[in-house]
Amino acid sequence: FVSEEEEASIVRFLDEDRNNSWKQSTFNGLSEGKRYGVLTDLRKRTTAQPKLPMPPWLEGVTTRMGKVGLQVLSNFRPNECNAISYRRAAGHELLPHVDDRRMSGDIICNLSLCGDCKMTYEREKGHGRRVDV
């Protein structure tokens, strides 16, 4: 979905963004992350105004998403962007979890960079179709 050059540019932006350093997190498994756009507190189920704008590279990715032929994405404009680094050697992992649809809205998009991954989506554990992406 992104070229190798675009991937390298996105990763460089994230690694060099001095206004937003990588922060360790244990939410849904150990990782390091950065947040852009609205600030969502899923434990308190609240949102706060953005401290940082959406990253500049996101506009091009979002525009392409709107052209993949899915009506639901044709007018999609994200209000939150989370960059999460999972490094297996550091013991990082993404644990199974349920996204709060009332907080996140109807659309959640993932863009995996710097390696292969397989995500399995299902409506609720044991209550719906499983989709591997």
Beta-carbon contacts of residue 124 (< 8 Å; ≥ 6 apart): 98
* pLDDT tens track for 89-109: 999 999 888 777 777 777 888
- Residue 133's pLDDT is 62
Q: b/e string for 33-68 if b means 16 or more Cβ within 10 A?
A: ebbbbeebeeeeeeeeeeeeebbebbeebbeebbee
- Residue 128's pLDDT is 65
- Residue 98's pLDDT is 77
Is residue 32 pLDDT above 70, yes or no?
yes
Residues 1-8, mean pLDDT to the nearest whole number: 95
Q: Are 65 and 76 in contact (CB under 8 A)?
A: yes
Rounded to the nearest integer, the mean pLDDT of the chain is 89
Q: How far is CA 4 from the centre of its chain?
A: 19
Is residue 127 pLDDT above 70, yes or no?
no
CA 94, CA 47: separation in Å to the nearest integer? 23
- Residue 100's pLDDT is 76
Phi and psi angles of residue 89, each rounded to the nearest 5 degrees, phi first: -60, -25
